[in-house]
């Protein structure tokens, strides 16, 4: 199997892009990625997107994006896995290149939340849950996170401000990321006083949904241009796993089994040990997801994930830096684009191009994209070459 | 108006009818054709008692469309006494604070209306604190 390297990366800022359509947003990131890759032309385009068919009344995004970006004629498809759509699209790009079937793959994650406003967005998001037995009861994704957080705090005696460290660290890092939606650090007092969205999830426990597009070009080493200007970054491994669709069907609701499985598979495939991971871009759509991801990924013991926030283990200079560019909480949560933003950010870290967000000795990065409360988990491990 | 979808589910919604696995006796709700416990085929119907307890709960302030008229409302994970867990709203709470472990029982209530006056009403299970004799 062929080694897959990241030839180019591109991203738009994450925010409310009222003036920009779905097409234009995608093009912006794609243009950046192809230029960064020295003009390398892909044979396949994979679009990661969650909700365009509902929010923009636009499906069939493979053809849609390829057409607008001047790539008509190439293989183009769209991949959906709820919030993990970006990670899942990246995996498809990886499979295409590692199989040797294509020379270069272009992966684009794009989402436009602002094509609708208000309760229609919550309704669209609830398509990530089991419609017949979860959404019909008025359950939102935020309410699902709240059910997990309520039970977790009860079982493990977590104080009311136990999760504050997650948004605090995210915002501190986001403040240095010019593409982040929120570029302002927050104070601990702000967390305690924040209003509830779905008790106990408050405004700072939930990442903001926003528009954004991020793209990567994947290829094999020999096809990189002679004068390729960047340190080489490879996708060392890639793994996807699934869990029961509905939260109520979980064997142990507080254990993200799909995360555990995908991490185990990714580590084995990369031939790496957990201790070798220098930074972790987790799917902090909600602070409880960050805690549960740290546990299921094997970094924290069960019931201890929240202490990584309390003790600032996840800070830029901590033992396991997370959300290094702000994470979903501060960089923003552009739905299906998120997984690809994580790949772009991890690549910047491994290339040493992360500026004031740079994590020291960044050689191995783990990125992880979740669909729903981890009914789907996609984990990638990226490493620096040489 | 999603009539066929809701019509198909009326046994589950009004009656809490699930399945019992003929191989390992596990009770299953909602019905699925493969037993999640032993992996064998499970298609024998089983009606649950409707009794359970609160595993977790939350009060929703930002509701999806169709539910905003009832917000804020409390939605919970209810562990049925036979084993399976369901997602449902809690109702008839009055001034009672909900707690993890509160015993509850099933009732049939309106889940939502489909928008306009001529839209479909969807009914189904909700749970209220178990009434003591």
| Per-residue pLDDT reduced to its tens digit, A274-292 | 999 999 999 999 999 999 9
Question: Does residue B18 contact residue B46 with C-beta atoms inside 8 Å?
Answer: yes
Quick one: three-class SS letters along chain A?
Answer: CCCEEEEEEEECCCECCCCCCHHHHHHHHHHHHHHHCCCCCCCEEEEECCCHHHHCCCCCHHHHHHHHCCCCCCEEEEECECECHHHHHHHHHHHHHHCCCCCEEEEEEEECHHHCCCHHHHHHHHHHCCCCCCHHHCCCHHHHHHHHHHHHHHHHCCCCCCCCHHHHHHHHHHCCCCCCCCCCCCCHHHHHHCCEEECCEECCCECCECEEEEEEEEECHHHCCCCCCCCCEEEEEEEEEECCCCHHHCCCCCCCHHHHHHHHHHHHHHCCCHHHCCEEECCCCEHHHHHHHHHHCCCCCCCCHHHHHHCCCCCCCCCCCECCCCHHHHCCECHHHHHHHHHHHHHHHHHCCCHHHCCCCCCEEEEEEEECCCCEEEEEEEEECC
Residue A324 φ then ψ, to 5°: -65, -20
Residues of A within 8 A of B112 (CB-CB) are 136, 138
In tens, the pLDDT along A59-69 reads: 999 999 999 99
Q: Tell me the pLDDT tens digit for each residue of A33-52.
A: 999 999 999 999 999 999 99
The torsion region of residue A205 among left (phi > 0), alpha (psi -120 to 50) and beta comes to alpha
Beta bridge mates, B60: A198, B73
Average pLDDT of span B21-45:
90
Distance from CA of A246 to the nearest CA of B (A): 9
Closest in A123, A151, A199 to B55, CB measured: A151
Separation in Å, CA of B114 to nearest CA in chain A: 11
The closest CB to that of A143, out of B30, B60, B68, belongs to: B60
Closest by Cβ to B77, choosing from A119, A147, A196: A147
| Phi, psi values for residue A102, rounded to 5° | -130, 155
Q: What is the pLDDT of residue B6?
A: 87
Q: Is the pLDDT of residue B25 over 70?
A: yes
Chain A environment of B110 (Cβ under 8 Å): none
| pTM: predicted TM-score of the whole model, two decimal places | 0.96
What sign does the CA torsion over A249, A252, A253, A258 have?
negative
pLDDT band at A201 (very low <50, low <70, confident <90, very high): very high
Which of A337, A289, A295, A371 minimizes the C-alpha distance to A61? A337
Q: Percentage of chain A surpassing pLDDT 70? A: 100
What are the tens digits of pLDDT across the range A81-91? 999 999 999 99
Domains, chain A = 4-117+209-223 (3.40.47.10), 124-207+235-384 (3.40.47.10)
**pLDDT category of residue A117 using cuts at 50, 70 and 90:** confident
Contact across the interface for A136 and B63, Cβ inside 8 Å: no
B28 CB neighbours in chain A (<8 A) are none
Residue B61 and residue A196: Cβ atoms within 8 Å? yes
Q: Which of B13, B14, B66, B77 to mutate to test the interface with A (most CBs of A within 10 A)?
A: B77
Interface A:B, Cβ pairs < 8 A: 106
Distance separating alpha carbons of residues A349 and A365, to the nearest angstrom = 8
A119 touches chain B (CB under 8 A): yes
DSSP state of B34: B
Question: Above 80 in pLDDT, residue B133?
Answer: no
Q: Would you call A252 an interface residue with chain B, using a CB distance cutoff of 8 Å?
A: no
* Nearest CB to B75 within list A132, A133, A139: A139
CB atoms closer than 10 angstroms to residue B37: 16
Q: Which residue of B has its CA nearest to A130?
A: B87
Average model confidence (pLDDT) for chain A? 96
CB pair distance less than 8 Å for A137 and B100: no
For residue A172, pLDDT beyond 70: yes
Å from A250 to nearest chain B CA?
Answer: 9
User: B19: part of which helix (H) or strand (E)?
Assistant: strand B17-20
If one counts the domains in chain B, the total is 1
Split at pLDDT 50, 70, 90, the class of B132 is low
* Sign of the alpha-carbon dihedral angle for B7, B11, B12, B14: positive
Q: Give the model confidence (pLDDT) of A244-269 as tens digits.
A: 999 999 999 999 999 999 999 999 99
Print the domain residue range for B111: 3-129
Please answer yes or no on whether A119 and B63 come within 8 Å at the CB atom: yes
Q: Please give the pLDDT value at position B65.
A: 82
């Amino acid at each position: 199997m062929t080694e897959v390297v990241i030839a180019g990366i591109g991203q738009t800022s994450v925010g409310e892009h009222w003036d920009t359509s779905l097409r234009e947003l995608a093009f912006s990131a794609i243009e950046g990625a192809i230029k960064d890759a020295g003009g390398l032309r892909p044979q396949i385009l994979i679009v990661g997107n969650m909700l365009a068919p509902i929010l923009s009344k636009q499906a069939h995004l493979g053809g849609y994006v390829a057409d607008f970006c001047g790539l008509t004629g190439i293989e183009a498809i769209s991949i959906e896995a709820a919030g993990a759509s970006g990670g899942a699209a990246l995996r498809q790009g990886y499979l295409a290149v590692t199989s040797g079937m294509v020379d270069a793959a272009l992966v684009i994650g794009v989402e436009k939340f602002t094509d609708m406003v208000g309760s229609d967005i919550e309704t669209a998001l609830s398509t990530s849950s089991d419609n017949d037995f979860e959404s019909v009861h008025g359950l939102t994704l935020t309410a699902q996170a709240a059910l997990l957080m309520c039970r977790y705090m009860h079982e493990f005696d977590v104080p009311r401000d136990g999760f504050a460290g997650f948004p605090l660290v995210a915002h501190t890092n986001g403040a240095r990321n010019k593409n982040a939606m929120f570029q302002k650090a927050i104070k601990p007092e702000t967390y305690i006083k924040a209003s509830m969205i779905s008790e106990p999830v408050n405004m700072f426990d939930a990442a903001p949904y926003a528009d954004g597009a991020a793209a990567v070009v994947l290829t094999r080493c020999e096809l990189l241009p002679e004068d390729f200007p960047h340190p080489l970054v490879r996708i060392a491994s890639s793994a996807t796993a699934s869990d029961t669709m509905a939260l109520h069907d979980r064997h142990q609701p507080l254990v993200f089994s799909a995360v555990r499985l995908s991490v185990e598979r990714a580590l084995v495939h990369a031939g790496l040990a957990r201790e070798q991971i220098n930074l972790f871009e987790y799917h902090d759509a909600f602070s409880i997801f960050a805690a549960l991801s740290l546990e299921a990924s094997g970094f924290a013991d069960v019931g201890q994930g929240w202490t990584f926030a309390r003790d600032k283990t996840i800070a830029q200079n901590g033992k396991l830096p997370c959300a290094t560019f702000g994470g979903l909480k501060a960089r923003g949560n552009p739905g299906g684009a998120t997984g690809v933003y994580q790949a772009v950010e991890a690549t910047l870290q491994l290339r040493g191009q992360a500026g004031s967000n740079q994590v020291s000795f960044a050689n191995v990065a783990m990125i992880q994209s979740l669909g729903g409360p981890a009914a789907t988990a996609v984990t990638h491990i990226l490493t620096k070459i040489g | 108006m999603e009539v066929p979808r809701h019509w198909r589910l009326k046994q589950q919604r009004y009656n809490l009818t699930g399945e019992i696995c003929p191989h390992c006796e596990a009770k299953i709700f909602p019905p699925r054709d493969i037993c999640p416990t032993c992996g064998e085929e499970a298609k024998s119907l089983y009606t649950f008692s409707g009794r359970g307890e609160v595993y977790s709960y939350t009060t929703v302030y930002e509701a999806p469309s169709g539910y905003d008229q009832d917000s804020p409302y409390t939605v919970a994970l209810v562990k049925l006494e036979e084993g399976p867990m369901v997602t449902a709203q809690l109702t008839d709470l009055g001034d009672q604070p909900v707690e993890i472990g509160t015993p509850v029982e099933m009732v049939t209530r309106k889940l939502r209306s489909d928008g306009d006056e001529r839209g479909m009403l969807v009914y189904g299970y909700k749970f209220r604190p178990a009434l003591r004799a």
